[in-house]
Amino acid sequence: MDRGRAWAIGGSIALAVGALGVVVGRASAPDVAAVAATPSTVSAAAPATEAPESTSVVTTVPPPATDAPAAGAGTDASAAATEATIAAGDEAASGPGGGAGSFTEAAYPEPAQMLLGERRFDDGSVVRLHGQWYEGDLGSGWPEFPDWTPAAWCSPTGSLRVGIATPDSVNVSWAPWYREPKDGLSVTTFATGHVEGAPRFGVIAQVADDATAVTLTTPAGTDRAVPIATEAGGLAILMVTGPIADELTIGIERSGAVDTVERAELIESWSSPEYRDACQPPPPALPDPGEQPADPATAEAAIRDALSATRSSAYDDRLAAVDDGTGLVAAWDSIADGAYAETAAAATFTVRELVFTSPTEAWFRYDIDSPMASFADRYGMAVLGEDGVWRLTRQSVCQDLALVPGTTCVPSVSQLLPPSAADDPRYGGGMLEG
């Protein structure tokens, strides 16, 4: 199973998702079918069009006792108290800086959301999940590509409100809600009770429909729950007594088998090839294939060897792999003597695709990854010399050296892009080959 799953750490991403729901405005509650409750642990709410009435018990605490004023002695004080009583809408109530006291508007009405389900724990704790889908088309973030659609897991299209009540604390958290979780799993953490000195840590795990149970394991303990069924897969509520855990394991039960996933496996980099391929429009296409070399496989291997040779420690080997070495040695020396020498030496090149446009010319697309940054969807060219040796073009090599601050080949080159980039709005009809 692919381990690059979506992960939301703590409350930061979850709160951002919750805020997005407010910014978007009106939100629609999903139509969720009634789900049979798991005995004495998890219950799913029946469909409703309005938020259910609260059944909370409110306990009032009387103010501290004070000495009663003597008869006839409270006239002035009573009058002063009357004058100090103001309506919430009065101008003097808007805040400090004049008038009798201050007033802060901290109450706001949350939009009604559907109760998806709740879980009751043996110690009396209750965790409730409300959900909403965002109305309208939020867009893919790429309006210039109306015919392209990202994968369903690239960004949430709804949010989950997590209400937590324990014998010691009350808290509210948020989680993203996806139409389809990546690789069948999206995990969001929550916590409560730290202020009160009785911490609890938990996760909301969105899983695929075939998951029959989910387990959370931390150094503090283990919890297992049956997911609440929704129109977008299952939602498992898991919580253990203890502080926020940096190390955790999620176990997903399917048809008697258990798939175990560690926290580190859930973290997906936005710069990873998998994320880019699924969540960003395709890069500009390489030129169409032309007449092929007599042995394409051998020719491609020779081009890859030339790319590796440009990373050799010996300058002679590097120069032998480039069709024109003008200005390269000075640029290499500049990098070797500069602050980015170790970073450049640790960079790796990955060829994503290669095409022969003729028996003597090839285009390829590649990624560069370094300890400091990643550079995706770079384009290079290779040509076959009269001596029968494949070499990279000078422009292909110099454009990458220019990525190191303060480095350039003399004469300089422009970024190499395929002709299709002229129609790509990301490049604005930018610099092409030449």
H/E element, 425: none
The CA distances from residue 39 to 42, 43, 44, 233, 430, in Å, are: 7, 8, 11, 20, 63
DSSP string for 31-99: -----PPPTTSEEEPPP-SSPPPP-PPP---PPPP-PPPPTTS-HHHHHHHHHH---TTSGGGSSSSSS
Q: How far is CA 38 from the centre of its chain?
A: 31
- Looking at residue 4, its pLDDT comes to 44
DSSP 322: B
Rounded CA-CA distance 331/341 in Å is 12
- The ranges assigned to domains in the chain are 6-45+108-273, 283-423
H/E element, 304: helix 296-309
Given 3-state DSSP classes, what are the helix, strand and coil percentages for the chain, each rounded to the nearest 5?
20, 30, 50
428 — pLDDT class (breaks 50, 70, 90):
confident
pLDDT digits (tens, 9 = 90+) for 331-387: 999 999 999 999 999 999 999 999 999 999 999 999 999 999 999 999 999 999 999
- Looking at residue 136, its pLDDT comes to 63
Q: Which of 279, 239, 9 is nearest to 149 (CA)?
A: 279
> Which CATH number is 283-423 given?
3.10.450
Radius of gyration of the chain (CA): 31
pLDDT digits (tens, 9 = 90+) for 108-158: 998 899 999 999 999 999 999 999 999 865 555 788 888 888 999 999 999
pLDDT digits (tens, 9 = 90+) for 32-72: 333 333 333 455 554 433 433 333 332 333 333 334 334 34
Joined together, the tokens standing for residue 312 give 């050799």
More confident residue, 202 or 12: 202
